[in-house]
Structure 1
């Protein structure tokens, strides 16, 4: 029997996310199998795993987009998700894309300024670059001040300079806003660069947990950073760079 409970926003929880005994099957095969997960308020958690390990499935469940589950899932009512390949709305001005169906243009402009798109407020969405589209959808996710931000490899298709810029921006936004973040990524360096804690998903459950414990901003050339990255790569079965 599935239990999917969303907390009222008036209650400040000890945990932003609590998952117990979560199972999700497809055609009788468990993709998520008895998973347990806790995320503290304001914590930044990165989730790694090989292709098909269930990372995106878990994110969809936490977002409330997949309810065909067994187990307990406790998440805040105020949550937002940014998917891998957000699609622009070409017939809308950018500020309207950020506030669909609403009229508070000043709110849209403030959030667009926050993600570095203040100069593109009145641009047609179809004119945005790939990087700008992803930042626009991040702005859309932040409009309602979420207590939990769910990110499904949102910068994976960007080139290296654009991805580095997006990472820095995400780190700044998280520290400024203080919401809990769960980031699904295929990039081990990105996980160590951004997260307080890195989890590895294997066979439908959390198989490894790594606390990062490095001061911010982080130096990707530092010996401890290099050690953490190499250890996670080995855990994923990939050669350390």
Structure 2
């Protein structure tokens, strides 16, 4: 797999990623005004692996994703990523003066045909909106258009920066299921930055917790798919991750474990992250 090697000043090319790795990061440091937001971080992501990254606001999650995307190269250390990569952000970032199908093809080299966009839109269930203007899309539709724009690049690495954060609860659930299906169908490596602990456990093979610029904790998620929050093992993983984020979940045997208390704990987790 061809890679880009990002270094502090210059960028060189390497013929392949290290064996068994879709992403390799070693000794990565990124500083702003003399403060290291990412501090000698190491990270490996295997080909086809779905990794979720949790952490408090300001811990460096989105900065790391931007570096992997090639949007920030003012770094120290080594970053190896697939040349074919794509990013979907929390905001769909659709150009309002271009129809949906043209937004999907935006940035591709040459003069790709509309059929290419329509195939990607069909994959996310949005082929019927190919000729629509972005302002006429719902929030969920706009996010699916953003995913189609990422998928049309046939990425070996898909970077997702809180892509469901602005969606309502029901639309968010549908979007999560869609991403799970797309990942299983495509087989690319995925790095998802999220504030949602349940989302991380639902989707990921492995969950990382970032703190003070490094990966402070990681755990494999060995639950069978499709996953459900009613699984006791799911609850155990969720509780441990909340603890690592500095949020104590209510004890299951106490009155505080009511649905209302669980919702409050989830809200606290989102605030802490």
TM-score range, shorter chain: over 0.9
Where does residue 165 of structure 1 map in the other structure? Answer: 174
Where does residue 28 of structure 2 map in the other structure? Answer: 22
Whether the aligned pair in 2 keeps the contact of 1:78 and 1:148 (CA below 8 Å) is yes
C-alpha displacement of 1:4? 5.2
C-alpha displacement of 1:125? 1.5
3-state secondary structure, aligned to 2:163: coil
3-state secondary structure, aligned to 1:192: helix
Where does residue 109 of structure 1 map in the other structure? Answer: 118
C-alpha displacement of 1:87? 2.2
Q: Does 1:180 align with 2:186?
A: no
Q: 1:74 aligns with which of 67, 77, 80?
A: 80
Whether the aligned pair in 1 keeps the contact of 2:92 and 2:145 (CA below 8 Å) is no
**Which structure is larger by alpha-carbon Rg, 1 or 2?**
2
5+ residue gaps, structure 2, are 1-6, 250-261, 263-273
Paired residue total: 240
C-alpha distance in 1 between matches for 2:13 and 2:160: 19
Q: 2:50 aligns with which of 44, 55, 64?
A: 44
Whether the aligned pair in 1 keeps the contact of 2:18 and 2:24 (CA below 8 Å) is no
Q: Label 1:20 to 1:214 Cα distance change in 2 as closer, same or farther (>3 A).
A: same
Q: Label 1:7 to 1:145 Cα distance change in 2 as closer, same or farther (>3 A).
A: farther
Q: Whose RCO is larger (CA < 8 A, sep 6+)? A: 1
What TM-score results when the alignment is normalised by the length of structure 2? Answer: 0.84
5+ residue gaps, structure 1, are none
Higher deviation after alignment, 79-88 or 138-147 = 79-88
Whether the aligned pair in 2 keeps the contact of 1:5 and 1:72 (CA below 8 Å) is no
Write out the 4+ residue segments of structure 1 that deviate beyond 3 Å after TM superposition.
3-9
Where does residue 248 of structure 2 map in the other structure? Answer: 239
Q: Label 1:5 to 1:76 Cα distance change in 2 as closer, same or farther (>3 A).
A: farther
3-state secondary structure, aligned to 1:23: strand
C-alpha distance in 2 between matches for 1:235 and 1:172: 29
Within 5 A, what are the aligned runs for 1:1-241?
2=8, 7-8=14-15, 13-100=19-106, 102-240=111-249, 241=262
C-alpha displacement of 1:88? 2.2
Q: Label 1:157 to 1:7 Cα distance change in 2 as closer, same or farther (>3 A).
A: farther
Whether the aligned pair in 2 keeps the contact of 1:8 and 1:76 (CA below 8 Å) is no
C-alpha distance in 2 between matches for 1:6 and 1:35: 21
What TM-score results when the alignment is normalised by the length of structure 1? Answer: 0.95
Q: Label 1:117 to 1:100 Cα distance change in 2 as closer, same or farther (>3 A).
A: same
RMSD: 1.6
Q: C-alpha offsets along residues 198-230 of structure 1, whole Å, 9 cap, x if unaligned?
A: 000001000000101011000111100011011
